Structure 1
Amino acid sequence: MSGGTSRERILGRVRRALADVPREERPEDHPVVRDYLRVHGERSPAETLDLLAGNLADYRALVHRVDAAGLPALLARLLAERGAHRVLAPAGLPRGWLRDARVDVLSDTPALTARELDVVDSVVTGCALAIAETGTLVLDAGPGQGRRALTLVPDHHLCVVRTADQVVDSVPQALERLAPVAARPLTWVSGPSATSDIELDRVEGVHGPRTLEVLLVAGDPRPV
């Protein structure tokens, strides 16, 4: 089937479906009712954080809890345990976060090639939000997060989450706080990259980092 023929068939179905719609009618004339549950159950902030940590762990992410003052030391220890020497820090990442780490800190200015990113040992980023009910991190290319390739090519990703203001219960709550997709690209991460073959053998690191470590930070680590 040619591309042109497929296109005409699809457009033809759309025209037939819209045949009885008045030309002056607009989508906003019929608001979509969004009366679904926004949150599944009631939780305290501490319970929400526990749920997030549990779901992250279920996806085989490594979860660490720390206060703002202890963040640099924890990052230094995790990088040392990993044997990391070349560590990528996106623009806007507080430099104090890596002050205790004995590593070469790389920037993405000018933009690193995919080949250059592939030999980076680790990347440290922040995030836009974390969703407790799904164990999902959302990155939107904001300060301290960098472009999408920075968290998809390196094999080890350390992601810092501020528990005071970056954790939400549900996907609807997250969508209300995120910028429209047209404004920023959104990357939704639920655990390290993984896939399964026909025999259901799990393989990690196929199209993203093989190891994801999430640092849940109490307090505000940005002035560190």
Structure 2
Amino acid sequence: MSSRDIVLGRIARALGPALGKPYDAYEAAVDRGYADRHGDLTVEQTVDLLAENLADYRALVHRTEATGLPELLARLLAARGARAVLVPPGLPPGWLAAADAVRVPDLAGSTPAELDRADSVVTGCALAVAETGTIVLDGSPDQGRRRITLVPDHHVCVVRVPGQVVSSVPRALRRLDPLRPLTWISGPSATSDIELDRVEGVHGPRTLEVVLVEGADRACAGTITRG
């Protein structure tokens, strides 16, 4: 018997006989009546809280209307001197219409060295959590594979406001598919040693820029009415 079998056996004995689906007994025994948000924020206040917490994590936050998004993205990439930009397959084509950079497609066969030659990556997101200042990616076509947001040193992430903004992690979990490859991002990649000396860009982008764009997707604008 392997160690895995022993651990799983102990878990099964602790849960007791399952009635129906696995873990039903466990789910029934755990009280899920906790609050899923703090306070009663309006949509605008929830978006403002997201911007504040993103900035607190040292992300660079920008706001724009949908019509100004291409020019803003072009300016952000030009400011970085980005000559090659990684692009997920489903990124709306108009987003980079004004950018003067070579588009590098997200290909399964790309090596880490090839990805590292890209100066920046531009993606959408699945959700943004206001209370924690967290961006969530789920590998959808406008986000691409997880690795394209880990190798380049500069990540520009577009958040559609207000449709992709939720107030809390519990509310985010209800809208996310747990079977998708979820990546939770709170600021640029960073770590600290035992003396708390912060080093950025260790296992991901050194610079994270988040664009909060109004009107980029009117179809999802009504999905939240309260934070």
CA distance 1:8–1:164, shift in 2 (3 Å):
closer
TM-score (norm 2): 0.88
Q: CA deviation at 1:94?
A: 1.0
- Is contact 2:47-2:162 (8 Å) kept? no
- Is contact 1:117-1:154 (8 Å) kept? yes
Mapping of 1:109-188 within 5 angstroms? 109=107, 111-179=109-177, 181-182=178-179, 184-188=180-184
- Is contact 2:123-2:156 (8 Å) kept? yes
Q: CA deviation at 1:17?
A: 3.5
Structure 1, gaps ≥5 residues long: none
Question: RMSD over aligned Cα, in angstroms?
Answer: 2.1
Secondary structure of the corresponding residue to residue 209 of structure 2 = strand
TM-score (norm 1): 0.89
Deviations 1:110-135 (A, max 9, x none): 53211111111000000000000000
Cα distance in 2, alignment partners of residues 101 and 78 from structure 1: 9
Q: How many residues align?
A: 215
Cα distance in 1, alignment partners of residues 136 and 212 from structure 2: 14
Mapping of 1:1-224 within 5 angstroms? 4=2, 6-7=3-4, 10=7, 13-14=10-11, 17=14, 21=16, 23=17, 25-26=19-20, 27-29=23-25, 31=28, 32-109=30-107, 111-179=109-177, 181-182=178-179, 184-220=180-216
CA distance 1:11–1:127, shift in 2 (3 Å):
closer
Q: CA deviation at 1:220?
A: 1.7
Question: Identity over aligned residues, as a percent?
Answer: 64
Cα distance in 2, alignment partners of residues 150 and 11 from structure 1: 35
One-letter code of the match for 1:203? V
Structure 2, gaps ≥5 residues long: 219-227
Cα distance in 2, alignment partners of residues 38 and 87 from structure 1: 38
Instruction: Pick the structure with greater CA Rg.
Output: 1
CA distance 1:146–1:16, shift in 2 (3 Å):
closer
Cα distance in 2, alignment partners of residues 9 and 152 from structure 1: 36
